[in-house]
Amino acid sequence: MKNAARIIPCYSADTSGVCSALYELGGLTVVHDASGCNSTYSTHDEPRWYDMRSNIFISALTEMDAIMGNDEKLIADTVSAAKDRKPAFIALCGSPMPMMTGVDFDAVAAEVEARSGIRTFGLHTNGTRSYIEGASEALAAVVREYAEPCGKVRGRVNVLGLTPLDLPLGADKHIREWLASHGFECGCTLAMGDSLESIKKLPSAEVNLLVSEAGRGAAEYLKKEYGIPCICGVPFGNGFADELAERLRSAANGSKPVALSTAEAGQAEVIVIGEGISAMSLAEALRRDLGLNAGAINTQPSEGAASGDVLSCEEDIEAALLELRPKAVVADPLYRYILPAGTRLIEVPHFAFSGRCFQRAMVNLINTDIKEYFK
């Protein structure tokens, strides 16, 4: 039963990660999947659906098309939708059924591109991996397609890995303000509140701020191709936000930023559970602003993730909490059901986990006084 979630829900899947990452970029995202229903990817997992337009289509793959290997339908429908909507690019991604029949998304993408004249790329989702992996692959793909060599701009910082699956709506705005208050110029906020135009100029930044593992692929590409250093963290609270700004500054100046003195989860009285970088950052913020001995549990396995131990299944998280016996846990409200007796839960809703259930209770903890919230 390992990896089966019996009590808590499972996190959004890679396909949702792709849809979320590309939502605002003006492309056409096609999920090759049964039925024409968008709901799983774009409403349950997407707070922007009712307020902001985005071209997301589900291919309505049928049993017969799957059996007969009828890729032509996907290709023709995509090309026709593209003629209609004139997207900037097309992203094709898969779900469990195409995974089983082995649809070659790179090959299909090449055919779509040849027929539509629009840049098209295949993403290798299969609906069984974490949203982080889908989002990371998607963001890396657009960066690879669009980033252009350009001159450096002094003090410019890109923010990578922004999606509403991990950070509340408005996080882009709060991070921009925080950067400005520390004298930085905010470059691209990949990918909330920004456009393809600014993706082109990503290489002009001196340093990248990785706010979730969803930006890992893009950060690695920008490091390899353009030598841009990368600092991980979300500027939660005040003390940690200030320290993060300092780390950005030293990275921008070409010096090696001092390593964070992170706490071992083993001795923590408060445990933050969530996406790796968010959870680590919030734990650090709690240490600095409230003097709490806080640690983090990263629930999202992803390649190259640097932050903390990954505990991705319910059983392991439950066992770890029983062993650590923290006084309090900071996590999505639905974690309530697997906490040890006597452990307090401080609710911080996580969209990738509980979707729209607690959308109204989402709070901004970025660059603000968090003492009240965690009192």
Partner 1 sequence: MIKLAIYGKGGIGKSTVSCNVSAAMAKKGLRVMQIGCDPKADSTSLLRGGERIPTVLQVTREKGNALALEDVIYDGAFGVKCVEAGGPVPGLGCAGRGIINALETLEKKGAFELCKPDVVIYDVLGDVVCGGFSMPMRKGYADKVFVVTSGEKMSVYAAANICMAIDNFKGRGYASLGGIILNRRGVEDERSAAETLAADFGSSVIADIDRCEEIPAAEKAGKTVAELFAGSRADEQLSCTAQAILDAFGGAL
Instruction: Provide the 8-state DSSP code for 236.
Output: B
- Longest distance between any two alpha carbons in the chain, whole Å: 62
| CB-based contact 162:192 (threshold 8 Å) | yes
Question: Based on CB atoms, which residue is closest to partner 1, 74 or 241?
Answer: 74
Distance CA 46, CA 355 (A): 8
Question: Based on CB atoms, which residue is closest to partner 1, 122 or 187?
Answer: 122
At closest approach, how far in Å is the CB of 262 from partner 1? Answer: 26
Q: Which of 367, 186, 171, 183 is nearest to 275 (CA)?
A: 171
Residue where the block lists tokens 């250093």: 229
Residue where the block lists tokens 């090959």: 107
Question: Based on CB atoms, which residue is closest to partner 1, 109 or 268?
Answer: 109
At closest approach, how far in Å is the CB of 155 from partner 1? Answer: 39
At closest approach, how far in Å is the CB of 101 from partner 1? Answer: 5
Other CB atoms within 10 Å distance of the CB of residue 312: 16
Tokens (6 digits) for 228: 């841009």
Residues at the interface with partner 1 (CB under 8 A): 69, 99-104, 106-107, 110-111, 114
At closest approach, how far in Å is the CB of 15 from partner 1? Answer: 18
Q: Where are the alpha helices (DSSP H) in the chain?
A: 14-22, 39, 63-68, 71-85, 96-101, 105-116, 131-146, 171-181, 196-200, 216-226, 239-252, 276-290, 314-324, 351-354
Question: Based on CB atoms, which residue is closest to partner 1, 310 or 345?
Answer: 310
At closest approach, how far in Å is the CB of 302 from partner 1? Answer: 13
Q: Exposed (0-12), middle (13-18) or buried (19+): which is 242, by Cβ within 10 Å?
A: middle
At closest approach, how far in Å is the CB of 320 from partner 1? Answer: 20
At closest approach, how far in Å is the CB of 111 from partner 1? Answer: 6
| CB-based contact 72:62 (threshold 8 Å) | no
At closest approach, how far in Å is the CB of 106 from partner 1? Answer: 6
Question: Based on CB atoms, which residue is closest to partner 1, 55 or 298?
Answer: 298
Question: Based on CB atoms, which residue is closest to partner 1, 110 or 196?
Answer: 110
At closest approach, how far in Å is the CB of 362 from partner 1? Answer: 34
| CB-based contact 162:186 (threshold 8 Å) | no
Tokens (6 digits) for 25: 């970029």
- 277-301 in b/e form (b: 16+ CB < 10 A) is bbbbbbbbbbbbbbebebbbbbbbb
Question: Based on CB atoms, which residue is closest to partner 1, 113 or 206?
Answer: 113
Question: Based on CB atoms, which residue is closest to partner 1, 104 or 148?
Answer: 104
Question: Based on CB atoms, which residue is closest to partner 1, 103 or 205?
Answer: 103
Distance CA 75, CA 105 (A): 10
